[in-house]
Structure 1
């Protein structure tokens, strides 16, 4: 009989299995059911059971032929001989670079600069001081903004320098505190982390210059136990809370370590970290099971900001980690960071679109926030030819001289369709009049629309329905907030679309598919890095920025979508027309 070897968390399990069994059945039989999902029922449509596998396996299905490397769908790959499966394989960075394909913009007025002061570490220079803390405060007293306190990290750094017998060092003051003592020429860093349901993105910034040194995004491993926040809450109640937390911390540590490595920096240079996330992810990060969000009324564990030493949370850093305040329900600190980034001006609507869609409406009276379960379609998951926004993903579809042209991330051969590619495809189908406003494809398409190109890629009728549910939920949430605020569509001066999904969209596609109302056609602003930029602004702004964030949070009110008229509104918003009937 064929032998299957399963590698997971540094251990290997071998088992003999019948020839012809699917990898999905084999993994479930071996007790690994929670490591692979199959929400499509094992039909090879959703991609939830993707694993890395090699050896004696059946040939690739048409869907698998689009997948890179040795990735296979466990539900369609069958065991024909000896084979291996790798679970919890270290994820490849989805993106890494000096400052991204979209340069991170941090407002100049947000940047507090770290100030250096020279330290004479000879013992005679310390005569007359009663402690290392006093020595640091005295040595930095001549700065234009002398510090008021000394961090534990700075004291630890000074102790290390003294134990090595170093004659001199440099101390750094940031935000009225001595934050680091290091060899000459070493500057302090800060990290901003956007912990999303599907991906985790971290950026590193030099606190002296304010320069963003690099950024990196990896998949949130929690997806293996739940594709969205609701399913993860359910899994936590079923007893998997600790494992969900471990997967989150593992993903964050991988992102941090890889980012620091690619930036040529060590972990002891990081003196501050600011985090934004939805309330479910924040709950897992701090080790609090999200039981309050399991049923109505949906109550998060806290709305307050929290600061703890990162190492105490299992993160490979010794610096303080600050989680920004949340707004309410599932609307978390990531939404508040986006609002902080775009808080100026008149009435504006902010969208952070992903698996968990967050909608904010900012007016002179403050902000209203709501969360809607948009589902994974916006991030390319669960589609017939779907994939995340990685190199090879079709992110835009357009007509060029009557031919369908595909814009592909990275300019490589198309391998799949990401969320923005789905929106663009549906918009094009509406333009070509092969899809009616109810979402029904013309019979001539045979229930799928082929995009063209050298590789077979298509959008199916089922994919269109997934999009309708996602965009309908967002549009219904928008209408609910407008009604709650007592303002009309025409009074909204700006609509900001953030998140990975917003990085490759066209305003015309959002209007043509009915996701946003026609009056906003010229008022749509895309801010793909809005959350991360908001976090960086808070990081560099120090205590002053945190006070502003706390004040901003006090002006926010959560609006529950659990109301009698929302279902009716949602059904109406499934329409793909630019303006809704009735």
Structure 2
């Protein structure tokens, strides 16, 4: 009889320090597996990652407390400092588990995928002074209460809000990570993946459909709201997310000749979406189309929410993986998109994380102080904290304007703690992100023949802006050097504008006006973009 050789079962012990109380969890595993794979078999102990597990993102940080895993490889030596490695910090995707191990997860994914949008970050559209849009069920039996859903489909996250359509009152909100992130942090990586085969395109489409279904299910369970009462749903998003959701024409975004042209969504039968989402089958599902190229309907909604066209000299910067910028000069609406990447959302940076519990959102190296969301143990640093860090490092001559650490900085790393550090690759990523956005702002101002001093109001959209120190953002050259008082944080302006479309009568006229007035500037084809970009790579105030 031929026996089957069994793999020896080992134990992985997860040590979690929760408010000073040490908690343990044990996960059995077969010898020879990667630590990341073992952790991903659980819901409670997953670790952040932004790459296919090849060590290129540097996000899946853990600390080995006890045991003998595989030694650090070349990828880890590139991503981690000597101090981190000496303290047991490793990349989970590179650790091969050969013995029993005890580990601490440094960069943990929150257990709950969907959570209410924090009140401080949520700027709801002011709808009650306006007449509510009339809604009618086409089904034979009208539910006792009809609800409407607004959805902002972002590259990194998905946000939605649900309203009682009779009163216009907000019922609840949800916010969660876009599950497509496992296929790449940026939109072009995902579009390239979708274009490789029909199966991959369908998979990315289903990721979005399933995410929306799960968010609505979470609302049903957590708030007792029946999805079957949803009679209207409005969805906005960037062009890549909208085309991937529709399953059509996403490949156009891979070709520059389409970057300034309208993109046809070619929506499928939305009743199939309604069935998968568990909402009323006769629900009026409305997907607001993108304006052109990479300019999605999230920017359209943001323009609507901020009333940008009401005041000449108004600028909107909607920070995100694909940052979109709009400038109204009184006659023409100049718009562009800047592929800054997810750096200012805390992704792709080795010590970065979203603006959530455990993230450093403000810091001062001079005063040796920092502020952490949730006033808890430090887990990473979010976008606003990274802006502070760059400004402080330059002020203290620890980093020059080119982005080079000085000779006193250990091995081209700056250590925030024994587990978190900023490396040269992180600085490069942040420089490129801020250079792309700053160049977009300057080019729009030039096209409109407006100087920064002529700006009357500047709206900052996205969660990144809430904790942002405007002075430091101007100091590193991310924002124009003007009176800080004209800057206004408007939260998720895309979701707020989407809510207006859902609730208010007359928004179609405003959407039509936006379409009539806009002029797109394709940065990829702008003759002097490279010169602007190179100049803005320097960590200094914007010229």
Supply the distance in 2 between the matched residues of 1:337 and 1:290 (Cα, whole angstroms): 21
SS in structure 1 at match of 2:248? coil
Of 423-432 and 300-309, deviating more is: 300-309
SS in structure 1 at match of 2:504? helix
Displacement of 1:4 in angstroms is: 9.5
CA contact (8 A) 1:308 1:320 kept: no
1:224 aligned partner: 182
CA contact (8 A) 1:96 1:214 kept: no
Query: RMSD between aligned alpha carbons?
Result: 3.7
1:249 aligned partner: 209
Displacement of 1:294 in angstroms is: 0.9
TM (norm. structure 1) is 0.74
Displacement of 1:82 in angstroms is: 9.4
1:295 aligned partner: 255
SS in structure 2 at match of 1:471? helix
Which of 171, 182, 186 is equivalent to 1:213? 171
2:401 aligned partner: 437
1:32 aligned partner: none
Which of 32, 42, 48 is equivalent to 1:19? 32
Supply the distance in 1 between the matched residues of 2:519 and 2:487 (Cα, whole angstroms): 24
CA contact (8 A) 1:99 1:212 kept: no
1:507 aligned partner: 470
Supply the distance in 2 between the matched residues of 1:150 and 1:572 (Cα, whole angstroms): 55
Supply the distance in 1 between the matched residues of 2:432 and 2:221 (Cα, whole angstroms): 41
Which of 237, 241, 265 is equivalent to 1:281? 241
CA contact (8 A) 1:311 1:317 kept: no
2:538 aligned partner: 575
1:560 aligned partner: 522
Supply the distance in 1 between the matched residues of 2:401 and 2:389 (Cα, whole angstroms): 14
CA contact (8 A) 1:2 1:79 kept: no
2:352 aligned partner: 386
2:137 aligned partner: 151
CA contact (8 A) 2:313 2:330 kept: yes
Supply the distance in 1 between the matched residues of 2:71 and 2:123 (Cα, whole angstroms): 40
Alignment of 1:199 with 2:157, yes or no, is: yes
1:178 aligned partner: none
Which of 304, 312, 323 is equivalent to 1:340? 304
1:355 aligned partner: 321
2:43 aligned partner: none
How many residue pairs match? The answer is 483
Change (3 A) 1:46 1:345: same
Change (3 A) 1:26 1:315: closer
Which of 484, 488, 492 is equivalent to 1:525? 488
SS in structure 1 at match of 2:394? helix
Supply the distance in 1 between the matched residues of 2:284 and 2:148 (Cα, whole angstroms): 10
1:80 aligned partner: 98
2:447 aligned partner: 484
User: Where in structure 1 are there 5+ consecutive unaligned residues?
Assistant: 6-15, 28-34, 67-71, 84-88, 115-146, 159-180
CA contact (8 A) 1:104 1:212 kept: no
Larger radius of gyration: 1
SS in structure 1 at match of 2:495? helix
Change (3 A) 1:91 1:284: farther
Supply the distance in 2 between the matched residues of 1:433 and 1:449 (Cα, whole angstroms): 12
User: Where in structure 2 are there 5+ consecutive unaligned residues?
Assistant: 1-5, 11-28, 41-47, 85-89, 102-107
Change (3 A) 1:377 1:264: same
CA contact (8 A) 2:355 2:361 kept: yes
Supply the distance in 2 between the matched residues of 1:555 and 1:325 (Cα, whole angstroms): 16
Supply the distance in 2 between the matched residues of 1:408 and 1:243 (Cα, whole angstroms): 37
2:25 aligned partner: none
Alignment of 1:271 with 2:271, yes or no, is: no
Which of 374, 390, 394 is equivalent to 1:426? 390
SS in structure 1 at match of 2:93? coil
